[in-house]
Structure 1
Amino acid sequence: MATPETDAIIPFEVLYHTERSWLHTWLRRSLGCSQQAADLAQDTFVRLLVRNQPISAQAPRALLARIARGLVVDHWRRDALQRAYLQALAQLPETSYPSPEVRHEALQCLERIAQLLDGLKPAVREAFLLYQLAGLSHGQIAAQLGVSSRTIERHVASALMHCYRVCFE
């Protein structure tokens, strides 16, 4: 049976003013940077506001932490992608460096691809990347990964369907 406590709703403004400092501190411990923590705390509240759903008074910190944890993972993924991209650029002669606009666009594309592939199981993701990026056939991938060609066909099809669903949801 629901009780008044479990049915209680917190107004967004009240939650923001009462939990902003706690969330910032929690994020600062995870990130080690007060500015990044402030940015992600703000992004957490924006996500909560945009979802436009009532906020239960039962466990507001758990909700904030769940949203913030996802943003931290996204932040680390973007940071790792950026480092890898910059390392790859460092291998090029300076005259071949793309413009800042092209670098920015490339990083955005890499981030979107990483988001698309994020929901895939590791074996499915690996098969898909070998098929799409390395241009290997199903048979070649199967031999490399030690599974049947039919398994690779299913992995690639599954990855394509996943990407399609993510793009068109």
Structure 2
Amino acid sequence: MPPDAVSNQQFDAWYSTHNDWLQGWLRRRLGDHATAADLAHDTFLRVWVKSQSNKPPEVNEPRAYLTTIAKRLMINYYERQSLERAFMVTLEQLPEPLVPSVEEQVIVLETLHELDVLLAELPSRVRSAFLMSQLEGVTYEEIAARLHVNVRTVTRYMAQGFRQCLRLMLASD
């Protein structure tokens, strides 16, 4: 039997044994059947992708492993929801002629999600400095004062932020 057949059998067993439990666990936390089902699906998708890698994880406690993945996905879900709500509030404040079309709104939301993922990979101080500079227009000196660091450190933080943006731009081409 090929090696991936064993991992596929193990995955099938995990799915049939733990999917209903995981959906129930997510439903109790989210209060929404559809979102719970989506996140459970995404959890098992990540498990399956990891099981297909050269070095799949050895898991002694499947439910703990699934819960850890599901918690991370729930956090991502709530962050996306928060981002989308903030975007909608911003749209509501725009005068009618400036409101982008539905297609433009979708593009902006997709871009915001990509930026959110990109910025989430940065250390918190780097992310804070980058956002203060780029969104609020705060000077490096003001950022240094707010973060209790020197201007040289802020310059390093900004360079990290710009490198991360450049990676995203190069990856999308």
Given that 1:11 and 1:55 are in contact with CA atoms closer than 8 Å, whether structure 2 keeps it comes out as no
- CA-to-aligned-CA distance 1:61-107 (integer Å, 9 cap, x gap): 11111111111111001100000000000001233221111111111
1:120 CA drift (Å) = 2.7
Residue type of the partner of 1:94? E
- Give the RMSD, CA atoms, in angstroms: 2.4
Instruction: Name the counterpart of 2:155.
Output: 153
Instruction: Name the counterpart of 2:108.
Output: 106
Structure 2 gaps of 5+ residues are 1-5
Instruction: Name the counterpart of 2:72.
Output: 70
Of the candidates 35, 57, 60, which is equivalent to residue 58 of structure 1? 60
Instruction: Name the counterpart of 1:25.
Output: 24
Given that 1:44 and 1:68 are in contact with CA atoms closer than 8 Å, whether structure 2 keeps it comes out as yes
Instruction: Name the counterpart of 1:11.
Output: 10
Structure 1 residues 12, 151: CA separation in 2 closer, same or farther (over 3 Å shift)? Answer: same
1:41 CA drift (Å) = 0.5
Instruction: Name the counterpart of 1:92.
Output: 94
What is the percent sequence identity of the aligned residues?
40
- CA-to-aligned-CA distance 1:117-154 (integer Å, 9 cap, x gap): 11333322121112233444423432454432112112
Structure 1 gaps of 5+ residues are 1-7
* Equivalent position SS for 2:22: helix
Instruction: Name the counterpart of 1:123.
Output: 125
Cα distance in structure 2, aligned partners of 1:163 and 1:70: 23
Instruction: Name the counterpart of 1:4.
Output: none
* Greater RCO, 1 or 2 (C-alpha within 8 Å, sep 6+): 1
1:157 CA drift (Å) = 2.3
Q: How many residues align?
A: 161
Query: Comparing 96-105 with 13-22, which one deviates more in the overlay?
Result: 96-105
Query: Comparing 154-163 with 109-118, which one deviates more in the overlay?
Result: 154-163
Residue type of the partner of 1:26? W
Q: What's the TM-score, normalizing by structure 1?
A: 0.82
Residue type of the partner of 1:75? Y
Residue type of the partner of 1:149? V
Given that 1:138 and 1:153 are in contact with CA atoms closer than 8 Å, whether structure 2 keeps it comes out as yes
